[in-house]
């Protein structure tokens, strides 16, 4: 499957049940690039991070190749005067030269062609030329290890998809010769049964309704929720990983 089409059948669950990003992360971005400024949110999806950046005072170009996800972002954010929806990819954003001060990539960089996107980022960035790569990651522990085991057993694509395929060395190579700063932010998500199942189904590697393997993994996930929920809620602990590079050239 073309990576730009992976989430076409998951837009509603993605928009409703994927976690946002920590307030402390947004404050960090504000410290490094005070608003108002222009940011290209590349692989912006349904606009989860874009919405938070708009709330912090930025002009945001939401660059997204997947039409259903882009249309959802336009539905949510299109009336905002500082939001621009852009049909484009990391490798060909269609943005003008030196048009943005920063690029954010939330849950998206692992889909990019790194060499071509590095060239494109250098082309569209102006000072301070910040590239901010972000992932929400589940925190290790008994709860998440059990959840992870279900995915490994019942979601065949799980092992080959996700941030785990991008190493610190990959990020350093992408940004070279410029240094990379790595930060972590605590985060979490409280989910009822609907939210938990929607969160599971928002992942592209989980068999969706009507696909082979859907019912077995759903049965396991409902049993997982029944086992661990307290008063009808389950807490997903995350750490949000952020890589920051300030490019010195194109």
Give the pLDDT of the chain (250 residues) as one tens digit per residue. Answer: 444 444 556 788 888 889 999 999 999 999 999 999 999 999 999 999 999 999 999 999 999 999 999 999 999 999 999 999 999 999 999 999 999 999 999 999 988 999 999 999 999 999 999 999 999 998 988 999 999 999 999 998 887 764 457 899 999 999 999 999 999 999 999 999 999 999 999 888 899 888 999 999 999 999 999 999 999 999 989 999 999 999 986 4
Tell me, yes or no, whether 57 lies in a domain. Answer: yes
Q: Is 222 within a domain? A: no
Instruction: Examine residue 148 and state whether it is found in any structural domain, yes or no.
Output: no
Q: What is the pLDDT of residue 158?
A: 85
Q: Are 221 and 51 contacting, i.e. CB atoms less than 8 angstroms apart?
A: no
Tally of domains in the chain: 1
Is position 197 within any domain?
no
What's residue 249's pLDDT? 65
Q: Is 132 in contact with 171 (CB distance < 8 Å)?
A: no
- Tell me whether residue 134 is exposed, middle or buried, using C-beta atoms within 10 angstroms of its C-beta: 0 to 12, 13 to 18, 19 or more: buried
User: What 3-state DSSP class applies to 248?
Assistant: coil
Give residue 175's pLDDT: 96
Please report, for the domain that includes residue 110, its CATH number: 3.40.50.150
Q: Which domain holds residue 66?
A: 3-137+162-189+238-246
Within-domain flag for 42: yes
Q: Cα 121 to the chain's mean position, in Å?
A: 18
Q: Is the pTM of this model over 0.75?
A: yes
Tokens read off for 180: 């990379």
Q: What is the pLDDT of residue 176?
A: 94
Strand order in the sheet with 59-63: 83-86, 59-63, 38-42, 100-106, 125-138, 234-246, 180-191
Question: Domain for residue 150, yes or no?
Answer: no
Residue 129: inside a domain, yes or no?
A: yes
Closest by CA to 10, choosing from 72, 87, 85, is 72
Q: Is residue 102 part of a domain?
A: yes
């Amino acid at each position: 499957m073309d990576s730009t089409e992976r989430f076409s059948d998951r837009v509603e669950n993605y928009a409703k049940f994927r976690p946002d990003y920590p307030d402390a992360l947004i404050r960090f971005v504000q410290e490094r690039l005070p608003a108002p400024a222009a940011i290209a949110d590349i692989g912006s999806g349904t606009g989860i991070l874009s919405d938070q950046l708009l709330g912090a005072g930025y002009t945001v170009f939401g660059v997204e190749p997947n039409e259903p996800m882009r249309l959802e972002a336009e539905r949510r954010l299109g009336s905002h005067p500082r939001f621009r929806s852009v049909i484009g990819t990391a490798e060909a954003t269609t943005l003008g030269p030196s048009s943005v001060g920063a690029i954010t990539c939330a849950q998206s960089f692992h889909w990019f062609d790194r060499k071509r996107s590095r060239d494109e980022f250098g082309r569209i960035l102006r000072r301070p030329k910040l590239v901010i790569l972000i992932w929400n990651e589940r925190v290790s522990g008994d709860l998440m290890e059990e959840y992870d085991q279900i995915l490994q057993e019942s979601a065949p694509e799980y092992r080959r998809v996700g941030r785990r395929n991008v190493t610190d060395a990959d990020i350093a190579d992408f940004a070279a010769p410029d240094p990379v700063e790595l930060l972590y932010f605590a985060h979490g998500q409280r989910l009822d049964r609907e939210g938990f199942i929607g969160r599971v189904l928002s992942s592209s590697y989980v068999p969706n309704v009507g696909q082979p393997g859907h019912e077995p993994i759903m049965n396991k996930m409902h049993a997982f929720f029944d086992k661990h929920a307290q008063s009808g809620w389950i807490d997903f602990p995350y750490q949000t990983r952020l890589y920051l590079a300030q490019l010195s050239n194109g």
